[in-house]
Chains A and B, each alone.
Chain A
Amino acid sequence: MIHKLALTRRSALALAVCAATLAGFPSLVQAQEAGVLRVASPWEYTSNEPTDTGFLMTRMQIAETLVMVEPDGRLVGGIAESWSVSDDKLTWRFKIRPGVLFHDGTPVTTEAAAASLRRSLSGESMQQIPVDQLTTDGDTLVLKTKTPFSHLPAVLVDYASVVLAPASWGADGKVSKVIGTGPFRITAIDGKNVIELARFDGYWGEKPKVARARHTAIPNGDTRTNVAVAGDQDIIFTTVPSATPRIDAAGQMKVVNLTIPRLRVMAFNSGLPQFSDVRVRRAISMAIDRKGIASAVLRHPGSAATQLLPAALPDWHDATLSAYAFDVAGANALLDQAGWTRGADGVRTKDGVRLAATLLTISNRPELTVMGTAMQAQLKAIGMELNVEPGPSAAIPAAIQAGTMQMTMFARTYVNVPEVVATIIPDFTRERSTWGTLNWPGRARIKALSDEYVQSFDESRKASLRREMLKIIHEEMPVTAVSWFEHTVAVNKRVKGLVIDPFEMRYMLHKVTLD
């Protein structure tokens, strides 16, 4: 009896093992499909809300905004075919492009666009628009502002303002399904990692050459490198710069670089006794070997910043400004002049204050900590003590708000919308900025200049205002750029026709063909 029972138990165990093995496998056996454009980036699709993941909707060309930007910086019509502003500069009229369809086949009406825009106007990034009222007039969307706001079209490029179909919103006011107007429509979403897309045949503009595309989020940089080395994707955005030689050598994908208006900047708390004197800030900037950091840490000598913004933004790059100097002797002379004397430990002091600071950096941008450590050694040469403290990115705006930030280095894009002033205002005109200056007395001048800039419609006056703002920032250095970003994109041999958008608004996948 016992013997029989034991046999049953044994076979039951074997059966259980077999069943469990089979249970694990069924959904796994799938063939790798051909003819799908495989795109990867670090970005996960965490939610359907345009304020959160709208950047993926516009980059993957699922949803579109009223106004769009071309890779050369020109503003062009998106869902709005054209726009105009009244003589008093307070009323903007956006003519809705005829024949635009949502992915569910319904036409984009003026009412639908207005309803979608109304929802996005309540988001923080759109709150800079001094909206008076938003109405419709036939095929035209009419937006009145309380004060003249010259870069309104540029702000409407913001991904938070993508136009979605009325059926996108659920009863709770949240986006339950993304129904956009872009050249690609979502066919399936697998968790946060994978978005499956198909060409939208009803698209109003240039139709994609590929019938299907897939976006895969690969947040880990080393994993993206492995995938690029193996050639397991067609286009991988934001590869790790130091991995470029490895990826190229493997021969499956080639890395393309493009300088973009995203910077690694250093900011000071200008209210602290050690940084209130502009000569100290300048001396620190002069002691930093930007070229050395760019070649040794970032592996791209061309990414060393010479002024705040790169030439990729011609309007906001002033070639007449002198490039940031690397001059340790000059920096020491400046500090001597400012009355900072070296103590026994080599660190300078003045009126009992040590020339020392904690530099906050972001741990999920590993190169920043390495750069910080390099700067720590370089600043020692001018008698400054620097502690590098990597932390979560939210710690930096929190430290600025709390007023505890001493020095910080972070990565910042100046083209969240394709008009730099939209970043200058929050970063340089407030006592406590979001990502930038803290207690900088020069903010009042930038505020006056940027206020005039926002209200001005005179292009030549705006150009001179831009130059003035850039000059003040360049000379006073409440914030100084250390390096510009190289947008690194690994491209598979079979991909043809890829265009890279320095504004990172669209991945321009509609232009791509596969061999």
Chain B
Amino acid sequence: MSVAKATNTMLRVILLRVGQALATAALLASLCFAFVHMLPGDLALRVAAARVGDERVTPETADRIRREEGLDRPLIVQYGQWMKSLARGDLGRSLLSGKPVVQELAYHGAFTLQLGLIGWLLSYLIALPLGVFAGFRPGGIVDRATDVLAVTLASLPTFLVGIGLVTLFALTLRWLPPAGFRTSAHMVLPAVTLALSLVAFSIPIIRNAVLEVRAAFFMTYARVKGLSPPAAFRHHGIRNAAIPVVTFAALQFAFVIDGFVVIETLFNYPGLGELLVKALIARDVPVIMGAGLVIGFSFAIVSLTADLLRLWLDPRALEAVRV
């Protein structure tokens, strides 16, 4: 395949996938709209309770909010209005705070992205050396130890890992603050909690990828050709082992970008997950739909990036792409 043809194919793949991502995101947001309205209970009353507080809410407050926010209009009209605004790039305003949804999502999204990125990178700083080492010495002590570690971490609920870390490092040793988001010290415990929950699944993937590549015929050939095992792995192993790992890592990153409610709640961290849960409790429809749209789109973009990275690492796969 010529370079020009390959670039052309890539561009078409990207355009098609971005289009698909947009459509999926809009569909997801529409489903959010439908589901929120299908929930039992008076939506305006829930919004009112979230706004003025449980004890101050009265049927009159609910009626005022219903009127002011146009929640008394037929659902199809409300949905149509939302779609029309969306076409102009306007996601509307939060029923709770009155702020533009875009502003809410950007604020909380930035926090989630920051912690997510740190936690995700940290997880690979831990998982890569351990996984590679375990893959080099299958059945060895490191392999068995990381296996136990991965199984333990995978079976422990995240909040338990978080509480354990808080108890040890914040409450007993007093090295780190137990909650908050203002300084880098505040980021350590939530990032480690997140990293540990990701490591549980990435270590076995890395280990198996390394193991598989090392057993591959081309590695034997490289060794026969006279390369030392580390040199053979450097030249021919890393890139091949990276293919499944990159795909998995991207998927894990996609999972963290929509927030991690348990960690955010435990550490009082104003991320996207917390925003979404509160929006669901308050039935803040514009925020729920906006979050659905943005999360759906980001998920698709991350997955597209993963595919592109895979094509870049393994250009042979480009031959198989049919657009």
Contact = CB atoms under 8 A, between A and B. Distances in A.
Interface of A: 6, 9-10, 17, 20-21, 23-25, 27-32, 46-49, 51-52, 55, 124-125, 127, 174, 191-194, 216-220, 222-223, 226-227, 229-230, 232, 250, 362, 392-395, 397-398, 401, 411-413, 416, 426, 434-435
A218 B281 contact: no
B170 A362 contact: no
Interface string B118-154: 1001000000000000000000000000000000000
A394 B48 contact: yes
Contacts of B312: 9
Given A20-B121, A413-B55, A124 B49 contact: no
Given A226-B170, A434-B57, 10 more contacts: A24-B117, A29-B183, A124-B58, A227-B179, A229-B178, A232-B177, A393-B57, A398-B42, A401-B59, A434-B58
Contacts of B265: 219-220, 223
Given A220-B265, A223-B267, A232-B177, A397 B58 contact: yes
Contact of B171 (A174, A226, A412, A434): A226
Interface of B (DSSP majority class) = helix
Q: Which 5 A-B pairs have the closest CB atoms?
A: A28-B184, A393-B54, A394-B49, A226-B178, A230-B178
B55 A49 contact: no
A175 to B, nearest CB: 9
B183 A434 contact: no
Given A24-B114, A25-B184, A191-B108, A52 B179 contact: no
Contact of B97 (A10, A47, A55, A426): A47
A76 to B, nearest CB: 24
Nearest to A30: B183
B67 interface: no
Contact of A434 (B46, B59, B185): B59
A125 B182 contact: no
B218 interface: no
A216 B52 contact: no
A188 B190 CA distance: 25
B56 to A, nearest CB: 6
Nearest to A394: B49
11 contacts: A9-B313, A28-B114, A30-B183, A47-B99, A49-B98, A216-B268, A220-B266, A226-B166, A226-B170, A227-B179, A229-B178
B53 interface: yes
A435 B55 contact: yes
A435 B45 CA distance: 14
Contacts of A401: 59
Residue of A10, A31, A194, A392 with most partner-chain B CB within 10 A: A392
A93 to B, nearest CB: 29
Contact of A218 (B51, B59, B179, B182): B179
A493 B232 CA distance: 62
Given A20-B121, A124-B64, A230-B178, A394 B114 contact: no
A434 to B, nearest CB: 5
In this complex, the member of A6, A20, A52, A222 whose beta carbon has the largest number of chain B beta carbons within 10 angstroms is A52
A125 B56 contact: yes
B239 A6 contact: yes
B13 to A, nearest CB: 19
B270 interface: yes
Contacts of A411: 55
A191 B270 contact: yes
A416 B267 contact: no
B169 to A, nearest CB: 10
A392 B46 contact: yes
Contacts, number: 140
Contacts of A218: 179, 268
B187 interface: yes
Given A218-B179, A223-B179, A226-B178, A47 B187 contact: no
A46 B60 contact: no
Nearest to B234: A10
Nearest to A401: B59
A482 to B, nearest CB: 17
Scoring A31, A230, A395, A401 by chain B CB atoms within 10 A of each residue's CB, the highest score goes to: A230
B98 to A, nearest CB: 5
Given A216-B180, A362-B54, A20 B117 contact: yes
Given A220-B266, A398-B41, A226 B57 contact: no
Contacts of B114: 24, 27-28
B308 to A, nearest CB: 12
A223 B97 contact: no
Nearest to A122: B64
B117 A412 contact: no
B221 interface: no
A150 to B, nearest CB: 23
B294 interface: no
A220 B164 CA distance: 17
B288 interface: no
A411 B54 CA distance: 9
Nearest to B117: A24
Nearest to B239: A6
A426 B55 CA distance: 12
Nearest to A193: B270
B315 to A, nearest CB: 10
Contacts of B182: 30, 194
Contact of A222 (B48, B118, B174, B266): B266
B5 to A, nearest CB: 18
B117 A47 contact: no
A127 to B, nearest CB: 7
B239 to A, nearest CB: 7
B96 interface: yes
A232 B180 CA distance: 10
B107 interface: yes
B61 interface: yes
B235 to A, nearest CB: 8
Nearest to B309: A13
A426 B56 CA distance: 11
Given A222-B266, A223-B267, A392-B49, A232 B178 contact: yes
B51 A229 contact: no
A334 to B, nearest CB: 32
B45 A230 contact: no
A124 B60 contact: yes
Contact of A47 (B58, B96, B108, B171): B96
Contacts of B41: 392, 394-395, 398
A385 to B, nearest CB: 25
Q: Name which of A222, A398, A412 has the most chain B CB atoms within 10 A of its CB.
A: A398
Contacts of B170: 226, 230
A118 B96 CA distance: 23
B183 to A, nearest CB: 5
B42 to A, nearest CB: 6
Contacts of B97: 46-47, 192
Given A32-B183, A192-B270, A193-B268, A397 B98 contact: no
Nearest to A413: B55
A47 B41 CA distance: 24
Contact of A55 (B50, B53, B60): B53
A393 B49 contact: yes
B242 to A, nearest CB: 9
A394 B54 contact: yes
B129 to A, nearest CB: 14
Given A28-B187, A226-B166, A416 B55 contact: yes
